[in-house]
A and B are shown apart, each in its own frame.
Chain A
Amino acid sequence: MRRFVPVLVALGLVAAVVVPYVALGGGSFEPTPVADPCQARALPEAEGLGETIERIALTAVDNVACQLGVSREELVLALRSEDAFDSFTSENDIDRAEAERAIHDGLVSAVDKAEADGTLPGLVAPLVRKAAENLPPWLILEALERLGSFLPG
């Protein structure tokens, strides 16, 4: 029995390090998983035009991502350039035309809703809708960003 004492001491020393590490979250210290876009999420209160446009974009991106079966983050990253958009559609096996249509429709629907509930001023709504309808997807976010910075908030 005595010959097992050193082995038991070694196991005890290992447990004295490993158990607290696991208790403190070891093994799950990894990038935070992204949220399901089909689940409703709290959006920031809109206090100015910039925040309103952000709410519209975030709502639309959530809806479109849910419809396409991808994460909100993947979709946003795909909207930064045409190359990124092409990689996104091929990696996720999504028809490019279908993805473009879904993005346009999703944004227009979010603009309509914001205009209807009075959060987006009637003067600005046609400009945003025009951008959403006509620009290629990879230019839309940048256009909205510029629009927000030009218009008085």
Chain B
Amino acid sequence: MRRALLAVGVGLALADSSIVTLALPEILGRFDVAITSVSWVLTSFNLVLAVVAVPAAYVSRRRPRESYATGALVFGTASLVCGLAPSFDVLVGARCIQAIGAALLVTSALDLLTQREGDERALRVWVVAGVFGAALGPAAGGVLTELLGWESIFLAQVPLALLLLVALRGVEARSIATPAGRPAVAANAALLFVAGGLVAALFLVVLLLVDGWGMSPAAAGLVVTVMPLTAIAVGRLRPRSVGEVQGVAVGVILLSGGLTALALMPRAGWGWTLPPQLLVGAGLGLTVGGLTELALRGRPDQVVHGGWTLCARHAGVVVGLVLLAPVLTSALDENRDEAIRAGAAVVLDSEIPPLDKLGVAQDVLGEVDRSNDAGELPDVERALADRPDDAEWQSLIGALQDQLNRAVTSAFSGPFLLAAVLTLGAFVPLAFVRRRRA
């Protein structure tokens, strides 16, 4: 029970690094802020978590029980403020406080798990819980936003955060006094590159499925479960003959290859994301777990080194967001114009009555403008809902939808490719891990 609660705490806190991905358009609609500013709801959490992870780990090693309790209470209270935030500034401020609570919660959970399970098993539970939380965050946030509104993402976390306190029952106070030693710079640097690349897999795939291809968040959540499930399966199935560094190298290849495949999808549709997701999931399982183990194993104090891995991972997420978001935004803008021209060609060359063509073009452009203002993608069927239901019109709607799918899918190609390159950057520090161990 306690182990499960500690794992849930880690998953819950780290899910917050990505949980608002699908809620951003709603948050944009609620507060009067620029599109470029709204991503701070996501970035601020990861940035603060990266900055405070190591100090939080030092606090946690001295007073794990108190740190865990404080972390859960701070996290829960900040979640409540996020859910009731009267302004955008309050929301971002509360997200920063939430990250401080998350850092205390996650680092002290590693210590409490170690007390109960021993180093090896604690580390495994800690890593798996974090991977699951981060991977399922966007989908969970999307479902809550769809059903109850974006505020519910944060309000639902309040009782969960309080429930986590039950894990402290019967835990004895203890303090680690041994020096933590120097951090594993190469392994953590590799983790930073991998986490930067994973932003594309964890954030952009869900965005593409839901906002790009119009899937419901619940269905998209089911689709992206492939990644964490594969990650866990591959992490367990790794043959002992494959060394840790070698396993990470294989993982980087699979992760980068999966991201490349996502950039090269030949059609729109969730089925096309599955083979790349299997590669990404396998890469995720081998890299994050492997690098975290390389950074922590055999070190005198797992908690502090866990703090360093947390810092590296979330610094990588920030780097990924900072690099990929502008590339995606500019590609969407550019492809929007191309799609409008291609859509106009489709209308002009279609077999609908010629005198209807101008009206259709105006209706579709009206929908493009409406959706642009709402931060959504155009809905062709909605724009042409009152037209006859015959073969010519259905063919036109299909052709327009195809152009839209092409525009959206190809806009995501650049960020996926950039993420694949970023992931390959992990080989540079990884070479030093190898040299140091040899």
Contacts and interface: CB of A to CB of B under 8 A. Distances in A.
B303 interface: no
B335 A3 contact: no
Nearest to B366: A80
B257 A50 contact: no
B266 A14 contact: no
B407 A54 contact: no
Contacts of B395: none
Contact of A21 (B265, B353, B407): B265
Nearest to B238: A6
Given A72-B348, A76-B344, A77-B340, A21 B361 contact: no
Interface string A60-99: 0000000000011110110010000000000000000000
A59 B253 CA distance: 53
A108 B195 CA distance: 62
Nearest to B257: A14
A80 B361 contact: yes
Interface stretch (A29-37, A109-117, A127-135): A29-37
B358 interface: yes
Nearest to B357: A54
A145 B359 contact: yes
B302 interface: no
Given A30-B407, A77-B365, A10 B338 contact: no
Given A6-B250, A10-B254, A73-B344, A31 B406 contact: yes
B279 A141 contact: no
Contacts of B282: 13
Interface stretch (B28-36, B139-147, B177-185, B241-249): B241-249
Interface string B254-285: 10111011011111100010011001001000
A13 B253 CA distance: 10
A47 to B, nearest CB: 10
Interface string A99-113: 000000000000000
A71 B341 CA distance: 9
A6 B247 CA distance: 8
A75 to B, nearest CB: 10
B16 to A, nearest CB: 31
B46 interface: no
B339 interface: yes
B403 interface: yes
A27 B410 CA distance: 8
A123 interface: no
A107 to B, nearest CB: 15
A21 B254 contact: no
A125 interface: no
Nearest to A4: B246
- Name which of A13, A14, A31, A77 has the most chain B CB atoms within 10 A of its CB: A31
A14 B252 CA distance: 11
B67 interface: no
B253 A53 contact: no
A1 interface: no
A72 B276 CA distance: 38
B413 interface: yes
A77 B344 contact: yes
Nearest to B399: A32
A32 B340 CA distance: 10
Nearest to B282: A13
Contacts of B256: 14
A6 B353 CA distance: 60
Contacts of B279: 13-14, 17
B399 to A, nearest CB: 9
B166 interface: no
B354 A26 contact: no
A145 B355 contact: yes
A122 B242 CA distance: 85
Given A29-B406, A31-B410, A32-B406, A13 B265 contact: no
Contacts of A25: 266-267
B406 A18 contact: no
Given A24-B267, A73-B340, 4 more contacts: A7-B250, A21-B266, A29-B268, A76-B361
Interface of A: 3, 6-7, 9-11, 13-14, 17-18, 21-22, 24-27, 29-35, 44, 50-51, 53-54, 58, 71-74, 76-77, 80, 141-142, 145, 148-149
28 contacts: A6-B250, A7-B250, A9-B250, A14-B258, A17-B258, A18-B260, A18-B261, A18-B264, A21-B261, A21-B272, A24-B266, A26-B264, A30-B338, A31-B338, A31-B341, A31-B406, A31-B410, A32-B406, A34-B342, A35-B345, A44-B354, A51-B354, A54-B357, A71-B341, A73-B340, A73-B341, A73-B344, A141-B358
Interface of B: 242-243, 246-247, 249-250, 253-254, 256-258, 260-261, 263-268, 272, 275-276, 279, 282, 335, 338-342, 344-345, 348, 351, 353-355, 357-359, 361-362, 365, 403, 406-407, 409-410, 413
